[in-house]
Amino acid sequence: MTNLFSPIQVGAMALANRIVMAPLTRNRAPDATPNELMKTYYEQRASAGLIITEATAISHQGQGYADVPGLYGEAQVAGWKLVTDAVHAAGGKIVVQLWHVGRVSHAELQPHFAAPVAPSAIRAKTKTVLIKDGAAVFVETSEPRALDVTELPGIVHDYVLAARHAMHAGFDGVEIHAANGYLLDQFMKTGSNHRTDDYGGGIKNRARLLLEVMRAVVDEIGGDRTSIRLSPVTPANDVIDEDPQTLFDYVVHHLAAMDLAYVHVIEGSTGADRVLPDRPFDYASFKAVYRAGGGKGAWMVNNGYDAAMAASAVPADADLVAFGRPFIANPDLVARIATGAAWHTLDRKTLYGGGAAGYIDYPTL
C-alpha cells in the first residue's frame, strides 16, 4: 500500500520516501556563498525523501534579501558542492530552488545600488530583510524599474547558467521558483504586470517569460531534473491575479509537455490560510488539467500540512507532501512522523540571520 514512506521515482531521482523539506530562507550565507554551517544544516535533514534548498539567486540582480545564497559564481558552486556532497553521503537527495526576486528587493542589495527590476514599475507593498549590526532588520522594498523587452533574454540566460552551475555543484535537479510574488509570478499576474508589449496583456503574453525559462532550463539539463513551484492564489509579496484558475490552467497545460520531475503547488496563502473564500481555486481540476495534457511529473502539495493531513493526501491527492517550518525545529521530522513523536516548536527569533543557534542545534529523538 502506497503511503508517505513508500519510495517513488521522481524524474531522475529515486526518493526513499514522499516527505519533502520545502525551501526555507534562513539568511545565513554572507557574501551569497554557502558555507560549513549550511552544510551541517542540510546534512542533518537528509532523511527527507527530498530536500529543496532555500531560494537561491540566479544573479546579483536577482538578490532580494541579505545573506541569502546565489549560484552565479565559482565560489558559490564550490560552497554548494560542500552541501550536496554531505547530503548525498547521508543518503539524501537535494535540488536547488532557483530564484529571481524581481521587485521584492532593496537598492542596497542590487548591483551598484540600482533600482530592483520588475515587469512594471509598481512598488511591492511588502518588506525585505537587511542585516544591520549582525541582526535581521525588515525594511520596505525599493521602487522598481520596468525591465526593457531587450533585457528578458538575459534573464532567461541567467536561469540557464544557474541550472548549469547546479549540475556542477552536484545537485540532483533544480526547482524554478515561479511563486510567492517573485519575478516570474510578477510577470504572470495582472496586479503586477501592466505591460503592453509581448510580455503583457493576455494570459499567453503574461505566461511567456515563465515558459521561455522552463523550456530553456529543460533544454540545458533535461526535464527529468527540472521542476517548478507555483502559488496560484497566495497574496504573498503583494501579488494578485484577476482570474487565477484560467491563468494557471493555461500554464500547467503547457508545462505538461516538458516531462518535468515534479510540480510543487502552494495551496492557499503561503504560511497562512489554505482556503481563501475571496479567492476560490479548484486544485483538483488544476491537477487534472496537467494530467490531461500528458503531464507525468510527481504532484507535490504544500501549505500547513500536519502528519495526519499528509497521510491522507498520499496517494489520493498528491505524490509528495512538502513541510516547511516543521523541518526547522525538527531535523528528524521523518522519524517523528513515522513514530508519532511530538514535534518541537521553532524559535522565531532565530529564523532569519545569526549563527548556529536556532539553526543546527535543535535536538533529535
Q: Grid coordinates standing for 98?
A: 532557483
- Name the burial class of residue 61, with classes exposed (0-12), middle (13-18) and buried (19+) by CB atoms within 10 angstroms of its CB: buried
Compute CA 263 distance to the chain's CA centroid, rounded to the nearest angstrom: 11
CA gap 42, 83 in Å, rounded: 7
Answer yes or no: are the C-beta atoms of 71 and 156 closer than 8 Å: no
For residue 113, which phi and psi values (nearest 5 degrees)?
60, 35
Q: In what helix (H) or strand (E) does residue 161 lie, and over which residues does it extend?
A: helix 152-168
Count CA atoms within 13 Å of residue 283 on its CB side. Answer: 23
CA gap 358, 347 in Å, rounded: 6
- Name the burial class of residue 164, with classes exposed (0-12), middle (13-18) and buried (19+) by CB atoms within 10 angstroms of its CB: middle
* Candidate list 42, 65, 182, 250, residue with the active-site label: 182
CA gap 313, 166 in Å, rounded: 31
- DSSP conformational letter for 102: T
In degrees, to the nearest 5, what angle opens at C-alpha 334 toward C-alphas 331 and 340?
110
- DSSP conformational letter for 23: P
Residue 182 a catalytic site member = yes
Answer yes or no: are the C-beta atoms of 99 and 119 closer than 8 Å: no
Answer yes or no: are the C-beta atoms of 274 and 303 closer than 8 Å: yes
- Sorted by sequence, the CB contacts under 8 Å of residue 211 that are 6+ apart come out as 251, 254, 255
Catalytic machinery residues: 182
